[in-house]
Structure 1
Amino acid sequence: MTVLAVADHRRGELRDVSFELLTAGRELADAADTELHVAVVSGETETFADELNREGVDAVHTVDYGEEFNHDVYAQAVTALTEDLDAEFLLVPNSVNGLDYAPAVATRLDRPYASDAVGLAYDGTLEVTREMYGSKVETTVDVTEGPYVVSIRSGEWPPAEGVGEAEISAFDFAPDEDAIGSTVRGFEEVGGGDVDISDADFLVSIGRGIEEEENLPLVEALVEATGATLSSSRPIVDNEWLPKNRQVGQSGKHVTPDVYLAIGISGAVQHVAGMKGAETIIAINTDPNAPIFDIADYGVVGDLFEVVPALIEEFGGEPPSV
């Protein structure tokens, strides 16, 4: 019995959720009194393996085939490795890639599949915590019969740290070439721009409180003064004031910056689901009862049109007239 966690990478870089997956996997392995094995498929596997060799990892397996994600390759490789290790638990990210191949693997192995987990517990029976109705309701599901396949939501576990001493080995994998029916030809950024807010250390995020598009330069001046990256809640994107790639939330991107400054954002559950993993959350809102203050480490009850200019000046910038 082992826990097998499959890392996620894109365009030559491991995704943050890969390291969060290690933490979730280690917790589950401890509960089941077993080992945590990690796999990385395709790409620069040797480099990725070294990065994934964190504290708590017992073994790292590499599968060399192609450079980018391919459904047919992953479905075959992950199935074969799971069977070879006799892994009781298969953990994958609840990402675009993970959601692509995990159901196929579960079907091939005839296993139950639980998606979008935000919590895991094991005491002879696997208990998966999930959120429903736009994260308004938290539910627990008892998966009574294993082995198991589970995908975990990003931002719910801290990333694994430290340098591990796991053995790194190449898995002998020969795919059925006739079953590989597609290849990756390239990538196209959605929503325009080349900024990936999920990689930012400091996000300044704006919501309905900005009132109108003409007031955006005020927040952009704060972004420039602090060296932050601009992001937003969904209404700003729906109004086409910012492109889709700037949206944080359940229908946008999950982010885990060191600092998340929410300006004029009430804190709806759909938005909070995408940023609650930030290390430090600061909120500015006129409503002292705004839900965002329930998760904020620091809060300012005040008018953003007074608070933001003062912050710009404090960081040596020049507030624009709005």
Structure 2
Amino acid sequence: MSDVLAVADHRRGTVRDVSFEMVRAGHELADDLGGDLHLAVIAGDVEGFAADLSLEGVDTIHTVEAGEEFNHDLYAGATAALFEQLAPTAVLMPNSVNGLDYAPAVANRLDVPLVTDAVDLAYDDGLVATREMYGSKVETTLELSEEPFAVTVRAGEWEAVEDRVDVPVEAFEYDFDESASGARVQGFQEVGAGDVDIADAEFLVSIGRGIEEEENLELIEELAEVTGATMSSSRPIVDSGWLPKNRQVGQSGKQVTPDVYLAIGISGAVQHVAGMKGAETIIAINTDPNAPIFDIADYGIVGDLFDVVPALIEQFD
């Protein structure tokens, strides 16, 4: 019992980014344990998803062909059944809406301890899991000596694996009676219908309190247009009604991992940083040289955004 089982996350026919990140987390944990990484793909286009997830670090992909979308009973039952067959030391699930739905049920069925929202994992005579609490103000370390165990992994904390390799794919037979299930997908309602998903953006221009007034959004919109970026914001902008909820980055909004994150007039409160610290390159513009955002920024501009942004627009136009 030294292997790791990770369960992929997908929605509306697309593998979610956290799945590629879980491959990294699972492979590192499997290395610590001296075992293999098994990846489960449940429901939907399992063959297509398996092709997308044939990545370096994955030893075997197990497909469960049942249904098209997420179903609590399917995921909880199939994950528990696969776990019982493989007998791994750990099962990793995404700390997503779906993952948090079925992970407790899996832990309950298997009678194993569950650690949620892990931001780091290691193994040293037991699981060492790092979590953040109180709006990411406090970092805690949990040590579990009991095995096996279950963990949900926070998105944006591990670098996604991109290198593709040939991985054996095995069909796992799981007898699922959808008609007997007490839960099923009735339909989908997109937040901000017709709007973009900032979690998929490669370049985000994000604004905070420093914008001062709603009328000043036009300046940032112009910058986003000339740079090909997508607009997002911190919570105060959404609370003021200046941008819709689906544009909010942070602990109570969306977690994003763009190639470039340009923070304009954002101080860098821990709740906001928790949602964007996984960006590849972070650029900050703020008048306060001591603003916390500069602690994580790769590049910083101490200056008035109303001077800096027009200069940027002129440069890119």
Measure the CA separation in 2 of the matches of 1:312 and 1:134: 35
Residue 195 (1) aligns with residue 196 (2):
yes
- Return the letter of the residue paired with 2:29: L
Measure the CA separation in 2 of the matches of 1:56 and 1:10: 23
Counterpart in 2 of 1:73? 74
Measure the CA separation in 1 of the matches of 2:197 and 2:91: 28
Q: TM-score if structure 1 supplies the norm length?
A: 0.97
Counterpart in 2 of 1:32? 33
Deviation digits for residues 11-37 of structure 1, max 9, x if unmatched? Answer: 000000000000000000000000000
Measure the CA separation in 2 of the matches of 1:176 and 1:161: 35
Measure the CA separation in 2 of the matches of 1:182 and 1:139: 35
SS at match of 2:232: strand
Q: TM-score if structure 2 supplies the norm length?
A: 0.98
SS at match of 1:209: helix
1:113-128 counterparts in 2 under 5 A? 113-128=114-129
Counterpart in 1 of 2:57? 56
Counterpart in 2 of 1:83? 84
Q: After alignment, is 164-173 or 234-243 more displaced?
A: 164-173
Displacement of 1:192 after TM fit? 4.5
Residue 98 (1) aligns with residue 125 (2):
no
Q: After alignment, is 157-166 or 169-178 more displaced?
A: 169-178
Deviation digits for residues 154-213 of structure 1, max 9, x if unmatched? Answer: 000000121122210110111245641222121112245421000000000000000010
Counterpart in 1 of 2:313? 312
Residue 138 (1) aligns with residue 139 (2):
yes
1:141-160 counterparts in 2 under 5 A? 141-160=142-161
Residue 42 (1) aligns with residue 43 (2):
yes
Measure the CA separation in 2 of the matches of 1:229 and 1:176: 43
Deviation digits for residues 76-101 of structure 1, max 9, x if unmatched? Answer: 11110110111210000100000000
1:238-277 counterparts in 2 under 5 A? 238-277=239-278
Counterpart in 1 of 2:175? 174
Counterpart in 2 of 1:163? 164
What is the aligned residue count?
Answer: 316
- Return the letter of the residue paired with 1:279: E
Q: Is the 8 A contact 1:192 1:245 kept in 2?
A: no
Measure the CA separation in 1 of the matches of 2:122 and 2:163: 24
Counterpart in 2 of 1:217? 218
- Return the letter of the residue paired with 1:196: D
Q: Using the aligned pairs only, state the percent identity.
A: 70
Q: Is the 8 A contact 1:58 1:165 kept in 2?
A: no
Q: Is the 8 A contact 1:72 1:179 kept in 2?
A: no
Measure the CA separation in 2 of the matches of 1:36 and 1:165: 14
Measure the CA separation in 2 of the matches of 1:98 and 1:34: 24
- Return the letter of the residue paired with 2:211: I
SS at match of 2:170: strand
Structure 1: state its 5+ residue gaps: 317-322
Q: After alignment, is 36-45 or 164-173 more displaced?
A: 164-173
Structure 2: state its 5+ residue gaps: none
SS at match of 2:92: strand
Measure the CA separation in 2 of the matches of 1:268 and 1:191: 25
